[in-house]
């Protein structure tokens, strides 16, 4: 099986030993506490689940700046985006070396992790802008990722953590949320050797489904992991339970038995385009995938990134051998009226735009809201029905 990134074995930071967990939970109740923001809480969940292997906790300023500059920590570990615990208020923890990190996303704010504080440092505005420019390729406050990052705070609390909870993800998505440890175990149980992962924050239409079939066939994979983001998105995105239901229905009806797993992970979307694509590849390697599909405008938003920047970064900026996982580069896929099937647009050079069935997201949302299923060349009818029910319920609340 493919090795995790940066180590021979996966080292999740969740405390699985029951007595140790109980001991730490009791200790945490009497520790000075920091209320995390959602981004820092998501980082803790990813560290706990093993997706951020081999990191042991949150980065300091020097590592964050180094990662932003060169995609390497100060000790040379390849890593694409800073993993930070930022805050604007350090009053409750100043001078303390061991603190409890509380969950902002769960009622009662239970302890998410216990942290050994290495340093509390202050970022300058110039340094925060430098990170935004390198990671997001823009400092535009209209960019949702930049807007979130710049609002998190100027103080960086660095140090190792021990994770005690997976926040709301396990409870809200018991059938879907899986740690990197659990996915690795299931891949082994299923006997899969070559596994391709597909990232999604949206329901999967026919073109996405066919892209997964194409990748599996061309790579000779015996397994597909559909891995959906379960954390915070931007306004207007379809909520995770609806996506989950739509994707499960598609897999049930249109994939052979024991060929696809539907799973999810607890992270907030960064919308960092190319850098986020590399981060996605890191944690897909950690969960045991040998290949990862990266399509047009992966993890992008608006017009901030070129259509294939998330692919070319692997050729131009990721050092050879930094990652073991291999990238399956995909173009936009759509139904060809000429060929009567879904194709990658780059593989149909004799086609014009009119030869494809193409619908904008706005048009699809309008149709679904009116109870009209998109054409069968665009979306499976069973998937469309789930989305129609969601949009009509949404409209009824207005």
SS3 call for 338: coil
**What are the C-alpha distances in Å from 1 to residues 10, 19, 92, 188, 281?**
12, 31, 45, 8, 16
CA distance 283 to 319: 17
**C-alpha span between 193 and 214 (Å, rounded):** 18
Set 98, 190, 201, 365: catalytic member: 201
Our answer to whether residue 201 is catalytic in this structure is yes
Q: Are 227 and 286 contacting, i.e. CB atoms less than 8 angstroms apart?
A: no
98 carries an active-site annotation: no
Pairing of strands 341-344, 291-294: unpaired
CB neighbour list of residue 1: distance below 8 Å, 6 or more residues apart: 184, 187, 188, 288
| C-beta separation of 310 from 300 below 8 A | yes
Degrees to nearest 5, angle at CA 55 with 50 and 58: 110
Contact status, residue 196 vs residue 232, Cβ threshold 8 Å: no
92-114: b (≥16 Cβ within 10 Å) or e: ebeeeeebbbbbebeeeeebbbb
CB-CB contact of 197 with 291 (8 Å): yes
Of 11, 202, 248, 365, the active-site residue reads 202
Round to whole Å and give the CA distance between 309 and 330: 12
C-alpha span between 24 and 111 (Å, rounded): 10
289 HSE (CA, 13 A, CB side):
29
What distances in angstroms separate CA 198 from CA 53, 179, 202, 291, 328, one per listed residue?
20, 16, 12, 9, 10
Q: CA torsion, points 50, 51, 56, 61, in degrees to nearest 10? A: -170
Tokens linked to 323: 């990652």
Task: List, by residue number, the catalytic residues.
Answer: 201-202
């Amino acid at each position: 099986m493919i090795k995790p990134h940066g180590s021979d074995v996966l080292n999740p930071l969740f405390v699985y030993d029951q007595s140790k967990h109980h001991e730490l939970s009791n200790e945490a109740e009497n520790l000075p506490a920091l209320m995390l923001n959602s981004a820092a809480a998501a980082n803790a969940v990813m560290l706990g689940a093993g997706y951020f292997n081999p990191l042991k906790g949150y980065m300091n300023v020097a590592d964050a700046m180094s990662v932003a500059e060169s995609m390497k920590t100060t000790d040379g570990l390849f890593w694409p985006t800073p993993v930070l615990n930022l805050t604007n208020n350090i009053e409750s923890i100043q001078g303390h070396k061991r603190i409890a990190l509380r969950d902002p996303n769960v009622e009662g704010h239970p302890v998410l992790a216990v942290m050994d504080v290495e340093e509390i440092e202050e970022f300058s505005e110039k340094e925060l802008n430098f990170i935004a420019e390198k990671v997001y390729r823009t400092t535009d406050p209209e960019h949702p990722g930049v807007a979130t990052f710049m609002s998190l705070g100027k103080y960086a609390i660095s140090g190792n953590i021990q994770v005690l909870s997976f926040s709301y993800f396990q409870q809200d998505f018991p059938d879907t949320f899986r740690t990197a440890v659990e996915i690795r175990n299931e891949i082994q149980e299923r006997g899969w050797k070559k596994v391709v992962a597909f990232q999604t924050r949206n329901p999967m239409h026919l073109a996405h489904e066919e892209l997964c079939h194409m990748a599996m066939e061309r790579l000779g994979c015996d397994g597909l992991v559909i891995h959906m983001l379960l954390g915070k998105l931007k306004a207007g995105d379809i909520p995770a339970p609806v996506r989950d239901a739509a994707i499960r229905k598609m897999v049930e009806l249109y994939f052979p038995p024991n060929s696809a797993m539907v799973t999810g992970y607890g992270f907030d979307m960064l919308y960092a385009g190319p850098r986020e694509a590399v981060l996605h590849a890191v944690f897909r390697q950690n969960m045991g995938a040998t290949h990862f599909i990266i399509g047009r405008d992966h993890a992008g938003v608006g017009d901030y990134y070129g259509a294939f920047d998330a692919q070319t970064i692997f050729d131009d900026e990721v050092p050879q051998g930094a990652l073991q996982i291999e990238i399956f580069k995909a173009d936009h896929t759509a139904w060809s009226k000429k060929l009567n099937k879904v194709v990658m647009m780059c593989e149909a050079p004799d086609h014009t735009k009119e030869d494809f069935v193409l619908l904008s997201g706005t048009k699809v949302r309008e149709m679904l809201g009116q109870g009209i299923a998109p054409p069968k060349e665009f979306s499976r009818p069973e998937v469309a029905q789930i989305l129609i029910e969601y949009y009509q319920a949404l409209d009824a609340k207005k």
